[in-house]
Amino acid sequence: MKTLKLSNDELQGWLASWQQKHAIYAPQLGTDASKPQFHDWALLDGDEMPQLPTGVVKNSIKRFYLPQPQTMGTFSIDKRQADAFIIKETLPDSAKKQILLGARPCDARAILLKNQILASDPYFQAAREKNIVVGVTCSDQAPTCFCHKTGASPLAFIGMDIALSQTDEGWLAEIITPRGEELAGNGAEASEAKIAELKEKRDAIKQCSPAHGFKEQPMQEMYDAPLWQGLSDRCISCGTCTFLCPTCTCFDIQDETSGNTGRRIRIWDSCMTALFTAHTSGHNPRGTKLSRVRQRFMHKLKYYPDDYGPLYCVGCGRCVRDCPTNIDIREVIEDLQS
Amino acid sequence: MNKIGEHIRQRAAELLESREIDAFIGFRQGSLPMTTQHYVARSAAEAQNLVWNSFCVLNPTNILPSLLKSFEPPRRPGDPLPDDLPKVGIAVTGCWSRNLAIQFQENQASRKRVIAIGLPCTGMSDRRQILAQTGEMVTEVSETAEDLYFTGGTVASLKRTEILRPNCASCVHPQPVARIMTEVIEGDCINNDAAGRFAEVEEIEAKDSDGRWDWFSSEFSACIRCYSCRNACPLCYCPTCFVDDAKPQWVGKGLNSSDTSIFHILRAYHCAGRCTDCGSCEAACPMGLRLRLLTKKLDKDVVDMFDSEAGVEPFKPLPLSTYSQADPQPFIVQPSHSKGEDS
């Protein structure tokens, strides 16, 4: 791995050259002042490094990997056509790369965790081909951030192609993958001292064990824990937590038609809604709000760790920040541990 | 504020202690500054967790019907309810008390089983609006009658009047509906000028039809169809919402703008003559959509056409569920455009 030292101007030079070849998406503040203001992902117009807020922006980079909606294929509903009702698959054009600039370590890691589940999903894999992650590590954490409590670190670079870390004089750019290598422009190698300094900061962060001991906890005990009742009393089943969550992956498939053509789309679904598990017969195996609230936490804290190791939560804190009824996964983790 | 909180805790504890009620609906402190959680206290000890501050933004009457139902014994359809079912206490401000009136009228809650404590209201604050000014790093907030003080933010204090939620800033019924209150806590209420109460709506009404369409399309384009606006609303209690129906599927599930528009238009229309402008929908919306502008427009129309406001007169039938000859009916009595053909 190569570490380069960049001034602000040099980084801007990189951006300008990337702009020539690729679409760059970055967190930006909404431009319509009449609307509530928050940072969210948008196509970068200029070649200036965008101002990133402390912590995470409204949406994660999930939307670039699981677009909302994803067109899986198109078909004709004109019965006179020979190919009527035959679906023609459409995969994202992975040759045309795009850059996700300013992704945080939690978001980048989430894509790797999702990959465990979606390893053989052609749409997700094509999106991984297409998206190049130029991440920015976090020098500060927001009050809702807790990545260090999910076995990760605010200064981590896993899942990124290039990791940028802000320093007093500018930036340190760690070139992590061959794709990052190809993308990186010119720059002076960072001094040994600078690299050591970054490593020291990284080592100073106290990471906890990735699965929090939930792997060892008996499943039935967690399933029957008394806390689910109190949480479901308060939950309004909106699914905001699952929509904003960078790891939540579940989807629904729908056919939409317009005129003589149709498309099969894949859209985000949420285990917080009753419809998620409703059967055609009318039976619903997860018919109560309690069972749905429990499902989300059990999947993140127990089922996924049992199957793959780490928690299925990267500690970005989006669900904590935007839950209308203030259901806080950090409190759930603490409650389950005690 | 602190005095009201103290009063709520004391009364809730007394009512629970004497077994007059089995549960009390209120708020407790959230895990983040400027957040609160709906809270059901079931004992005098639990009542000590109740709080009252500027961030009690989700309408507590939303959880009342399901809580009342949870005390009902299982029974066959048509079987009468026992007479001596447990009662539930709830503390309500002006808008929430009007929701209570509507729940009584629409048989979502039984008046006999609700002990309502009326609260004076000086308006609630918008956490997101504050965070936009102070930055995300606020770790602690305290408040007085006039000001909010922040620790860790880029701003040390803000005047409460500057960061009132828009529905509170245009509220003209801060007093609880006295006729359905069991008791009322006295105190100062917000005092807004009634003349400007529909200013937000009038601003949009003043646009031409293209302008209004542009506004509507852009205002709701960020919707992620999570339906938290619907779920946070005490008016929405259909067992299956039209957007969740699968057979037939009335509305597409993607983010197609026509599907999103239909949801928002229908949601607003279902609230016509019933919405109390409590702001719960906006408080719940993760995308910060100004959902109230649609329901407020319908409030205005109902005031203009029927001279009625939701829940203000608790025993008068709701304007859209009754008929009077005085109702505006130009669509019936207007002469047909194609004269002669219809007769």
Contact of B116 with B182, CB cutoff 8 Å: yes
A88 touches chain B (CB under 8 A): no
Show the tokens assigned to B4: 């009201």
Record: contact A324-B227, CB cut-off 8 A: no
Give residue B334's pLDDT. 63
Dihedral sign of CA atoms A54, A55, A57, A63 in order: positive
In this predicted structure, the answer to whether residue B342 has a pLDDT above a threshold of 50 is no
User: Given this model, what pLDDT does residue B187 score?
Assistant: 93
Report the helix count and the strand count for chain B, using DSSP H and E.
13, 8
User: Which residue does chain B place closest to A322, by CA atoms?
Assistant: B286
Q: What percent of chain B has pLDDT over 70?
A: 97
Residues 6+ apart with CB under 8 A from B139: A143, B33, B151, B152
pLDDT in the model for residue B339: 52
A37 — contact with chain B (CB < 8 Å)? yes
Residue to mutate among B136, B139, B227, B233, with most A CBs inside 10 A, is B136
Sign of the CA dihedral running B42, B46, B52, B53: negative
Instruction: Tell me: pLDDT of B180 over 70.
Output: yes
**Average pLDDT in the A153-175 region?**
95
A230 by Cβ neighbours in 10 Å (0-12 / 13-18 / 19+) ranks as middle
| Segment A33-48, tens digit of pLDDT | 777 778 999 999 888 8
> Cβ A275–B286 below 8 Å, yes or no?
no
Of A148, A75, A61, nearest in space to A108 by CA: A61
At residue B341 the predicted structure's pLDDT band, cuts being 50, 70 and 90, is: very low
Asked if B60 and B93 count as a contact pair (C-beta separation under 8 A), the reply is no
Mean pLDDT of A209-216: 78
Cβ–Cβ contact A244 with B under 8 A: yes
Is the peptide bond preceding residue A226 cis, with omega within 30 degrees of 0? Answer: no
CB contact under 8 A, A324 and B286: yes
What are the C-alpha distances in Å from B263 to residues A137, A282, B322? 39, 24, 25
Q: How confident is the model over B253-297, as pLDDT tens digits? A: 878 888 999 999 999 999 999 999 999 999 999 888 999 999 999
Mutate to test the interface with B, among A238, A241, A264 (most CBs of B within 10 A): A238
Give phi and psi for B142, each to the nearest 5: -130, 160
Convert A240-279 to b/e letters by CB count within 10 Å (16 or more is b). bbbbbbbbbbebbebebeeeeebbbbbbbbbbbbbbbebe
Q: Closest chain B residue to A58 measured between Cα atoms?
A: B287
Phi–psi pair at A221, nearest 5 degrees: -65, -45
**DSSP code for B142:** E
Per CB-CB distance under 8 Å, the chain B contacts of A236 are 62, 228, 231-232, 284
Lowest mean pLDDT among A174-188, B36-50, B175-189, B244-258: B244-258
SS (H, E, C) A271-332: CCCHHHCCCCCCCCCCCCHHHHHHHHHHHHHHHHHHHHCCCCCCCCCHHHHHCCCCCCHHHH
Say whether A240 and B286 touch across the interface (CB within 8 A): yes
- What does the pLDDT look like over B228-242, one tens digit per residue? 999 999 999 998 899
Mean per-residue pLDDT over chain B, rounded: 92
Shortest CB distance from A320 goes to which of B32, B227, B228?
A: B32
For residues B241, B242, B246 and B252, what is the CA-based torsion angle, rounded to 10 degrees? -120
Q: Does B224 touch chain A (CB under 8 A)?
A: yes
* pLDDT (0 to 100) of residue A210: 67
Do B48 and B92 contact (CB within 8 A), yes or no?
no
pTM (2 decimals)? 0.89
State pLDDT tens for residues A179-207.
999 999 888 899 999 999 999 999 998 77
Cβ proximity of A11 and A19 under 8 Å: no
Residues 6 or more apart from B248 whose CB is under 8 A from it? Answer: none
What is the reported pLDDT for A33? 74
- How do residues A263-305 score in pLDDT, each as one tens digit? 999 999 999 998 899 998 889 999 999 999 999 999 999 999 9
Structure confidence at residue A170 (pLDDT): 92
Pick the closest to residue B24 from B116, B112, B109 (CA basis). Answer: B116
Q: What is the mean pLDDT of residues A130-147?
A: 94
Q: How confident is the model at residue B343 (pLDDT cuts 50, 70, 90)?
A: very low
Give the pLDDT mean for B217-238: 91
- Measured between CA atoms, the residue of chain A closest to residue B291 is A35
Residue B273 token pair: 């003559």
Asked if A190 and A3 touch (Cβ cutoff 8 Å), the reply is yes
Lookup result for tokens 């698959």: A89
Q: Phi and psi of A264, rounded to 5°?
A: -100, 120
CB atoms within 10 A of CB A26: 24
A71 interfaces chain B, CB cutoff of 8 Å = no
For residue A157, what are the β-bridge partners?
none
Domain ranges for chain A, please list them.
2-337
**pLDDT value for A233:** 87
Which band of pLDDT confidence, cut at 50, 70 and 90, is reported for residue A93?
confident
State the maximum Cα–Cα separation within chain A, in Å, rounded to a whole number. Answer: 72
Instruction: Classify residue B36 as exposed, middle or buried by CB count within 10 Å of its CB (0-12, 13-18, 19+).
Output: buried
pLDDT above 50 (res B74): yes
Q: Is the Cβ pair B255, A38 closer than 8 Å? A: no
pLDDT digits over B113-155, tens only?
Answer: 999 999 999 999 989 889 988 988 899 999 998 999 999 989 9
A3 pLDDT band, cuts 50/70/90, is very high
Q: Which of B137, B232, B253 sits opposite A254 (nearest CB)?
A: B253
| Chain B interface disruption, residue of A325, A329, A335, most B CBs within 10 A | A325
- Tell me the shortest Cα–Cα distance from A17 to chain B, in angstroms: 31
